[in-house]
A and B are shown apart, each in its own frame.
Chain A
Amino acid sequence: MFSLESFMDLPLIWYGLISTAIFLYVLLDGFDLGVGILFPFAPSESCRNRMMNSIAPFWDGNETWLVLGGGGLFAAFPLAYAILMPALYLPVVFMLIGLIFRGVAFEFRFKAIGKSRKFWDYSFHFGSLVATFMQGMVLGAFVQGIKIQGRSFGGGAFDWLNAYSVMVGMALVFGYALLGATWVIMKTDGITQDWARKCAGYVLGYVGLFLGIVSISMPMMNTDVKALWFSLPNFFYLLPIPLSTVVMFVMLWRGLIKGKEYLPFFLSIGVFLTGYVGLGISLWPWLVPFEVSFRQAAAAPESQSLLLIGTVILLPLILGYVAYCYYVFRGKTSDETLY
């Protein structure tokens, strides 16, 4: 049996890879879920068609990152997968059902006529909304810590449900709405773009508010997190993270006012990235906060090695052809049926 254990830190590499996969999921499905959240508020039917067309070729690939997150967690950190799934059972179920109703809407909507099309519009909207809100609740429950017993989840069925997780759920709805709005700015023009720019302005304010609340509450809820961020010299090392968030936030605001088309989307990604990195630092090294570290949850080195070899070869290839697909569908989207 081969194993790369002796010359590389496999659990750390996998921790990095899974974190990256989850982040890519948040970004990529984030913007198309965000489009779904904003969907019914668009000014006209042809705007909605354009919005839908702008993500129709991608949503399926975007959601695959979630499968990689789930499957990758099972493969690289089976213990974490085995604890987190029962712990977050109900929000995960609701998220999945939300994803089902929005996912099929892509196909069904174009085939439906009259009233039933309206139904799939709402299926797309509420599905996206529920899936996003539940992902936020999962995150909210996750950062508050998971109870365990032996090698299993040891808490109750509704541990995940409290005011804090509801707040994080709402925060993520606004966060994805920002990604969605800036995506629509980039991919459309005319009234759709004007409307999306207005939306982006509104949700940006809320995103700032929630970012502030989460950033303050995290250290207040957990003394370790507080010690990490506010002890010297850590404070100065970590300062660039919140600072760059603020800088990008302001640039994003100005970009929207100046009518930039591409910049807002990429700055939204930047804001998400710094938020994600900040969260990662706070939760280091826990994979099941604050009970199981990524080292404790790691699969056997042989298992991590086997999948790592494939990942090193395949991941660049995947990123390459995903980029190719985005390139094929570059530019502004029309409102005509695509096929």
Chain B
Amino acid sequence: MIEKFDPVLLARVQFAFTVSFHIIFPAFTIGLASWLAVLEWRWLTTGKTVYEEIYRMWVKIFAVTFGMGVVSGVVMSFQFGMNWSVFSDRTGNVLGPLLGYEVLTAFFLEASFLGVMLFGWNRVSPKMHFAATIIVALGTLISAFWILSANSWMQTPRGYLIGVDGLLYPTDWMKVIFNPSFPYRFFHMVTASYLTTAFVVGGVGAYYLYRNQHVKHARVMLGMAMIMAIFVAPTQAVLGDLHGLNTLKHQPAKVAAMEGIWDTQKGAPLKLFGWPDQEEEKTNYAIEIPKLSSLILTHNLNGEVKGLKEWAKDKRPPVAWVFWSFRLMVGIGVLMIFTGVTAAILFLRKQLFAKRWFQLWCVAMTPSGFISVLAGWFVTEIGRQPYIVYGVMRTVETVSPVMGSQIAMSLLAFIFSYFFIFGAGSYYILRLIGKGPDIQEQEYGTHGVKKPPLLTDLTSETGGKHV
């Protein structure tokens, strides 16, 4: 009975669970590290302690998040071999060096200088500390470079040949690393991380403003976040469109699943909503906008869009997952752009920090980036199915010779541990947010620091006259 667990399904679920859980943390830390570098730069150049106080608050949140990212990331370096050993054996020649470079160029850099960044305040000069922050931020980006190159190679494999022994051999490293979908995926993901961080920071700033706490700091947080929303959210839409066109060129079946289109047609409508039925080969209850899909995908009202029926049934991805994840991702992207536009209008009316409904809205948008990043990864990873290396290797062929019961047991252990850890981590992060920035006590009379205002004046920005 115990042997009836399906190892392929369980391996899929386990890998999906561990990698989805892991990506939450880098999605946040990539953006946060860069933002911390900007904060420290502002602090060092302007000398305003508000930046330092914000830095010191967020670096603690960064530490908690990074810690969870590290421990869930160590798991990933074993997950390939544990669940997909045949895949590891066959693609090791091509993918191994990319992951090796990730460790050598990024992980050591991040891990080593994180110690200086967190604990080195009184042990290194401010400049060296700033350098450590920049190095950590660079490390997160370098890490993203290699892992997205490896992932993109699985989507659009190039620069290899299949040997007589069935193993893959590299023929051109530049083609392997800079495979066709890599630049798009890299910029799309890094931008997504920046937006994720921006909406978390903005949400926290808005929360403080709403509660009339830490107003000076909250303005900086919300202000900086909204700069990102105004300029970067629309940029992401453009990058996403380019990424989509690239996918259309190299993985048209994925795009057909994203659009829920079964029959190849000219002037294809955009299905806003609907219910794709894999068996019936149609999308039920669809709400459509005529010709829009063709316009988006081919930039021509009557362009031809390939439908899923072009591929044999066993070569199609699970359509409903891809279809809905895509809508979730794009939907949140639209809300982010909307937030940016609203922020711009409020700013021009000098009301950005005043409108309470906007503060509530920003609080509600806090988790939006995470959901969107996960949905996006669901689109690209499930959309690649039934292949593990697109067009080359099917996922079912590459599973490890491990009993289903073993995978089930370890899956349960991972689920339990991760939810526990995640719960505790979220709790501590929320508490750090609840506590807010520590205001530095300064000795007055030195370095031009004025006598502190009376307690009753502290919340008003203009302040009274101090004697």
B-binding residues in A (CB < 8 A):
1, 56-58, 60-61, 63-64, 66-68, 70-72, 74-76, 78-79, 81-86, 89-90, 92-94, 96-97, 99-101, 103-104, 106-108, 111-112, 149, 151-154, 157, 299-300, 302-303, 306-307, 310-311, 314-315, 318, 321-322, 324-325, 328-329, 338-339
Contacts and interface: CB of A to CB of B under 8 A. Distances in A.
B417 A75 contact: no
Given A86-B81, A307-B101, 20 more contacts: A57-B116, A60-B67, A61-B115, A67-B74, A70-B77, A74-B100, A78-B92, A82-B88, A85-B88, A100-B417, A104-B421, A108-B425, A111-B64, A112-B428, A152-B89, A299-B92, A306-B170, A311-B104, A321-B113, A338-B118
A60 B121 CA distance: 18
Interface size grouping (class) on chain B = 35 or more
Interface string B401-431: 1110110011001100110010011001001
B80 interface: yes
Looking at chain A's contact residues, the main secondary structure is: helix
A329 B410 contact: no
B171 A74 contact: no
Nearest to B431: A111
13 contacts: A1-B171, A57-B115, A70-B81, A74-B92, A75-B100, A81-B92, A85-B82, A104-B68, A111-B432, A299-B93, A300-B167, A321-B108, A325-B116
B261 to A, nearest CB: 38
B413 A97 contact: yes
B342 interface: no
A314 B63 CA distance: 26
Contacts of B93: 78, 299-300, 302-303
B52 interface: no
B245 to A, nearest CB: 31
Interface in B34-88: 56, 59-60, 63-64, 66-68, 70-75, 77-78, 80-82, 85-86, 88
Interface in B119-148: 119-121, 123-124
A100 B421 contact: yes
Given A89-B82, A307-B97, A63 B92 contact: no
Looking at chain B's contact residues, the main secondary structure is: helix
B170 A1 contact: yes
Contacts of A72: 100, 103
A299 B172 contact: no
A332 to B, nearest CB: 13
B96 A299 contact: yes
Contacts of A74: 77, 80-81, 88, 92, 95-96, 99-100
A318 B104 contact: yes
B173 interface: yes
B410 A93 contact: yes
Contacts of A307: 96-97, 100-101
Contact of A104 (B92, B103, B424): B424
A300 B105 contact: no
B421 A96 contact: no
B428 A108 contact: yes
Contact of B104 (A96, A97, A154, A315): A315
Contacts of B213: none
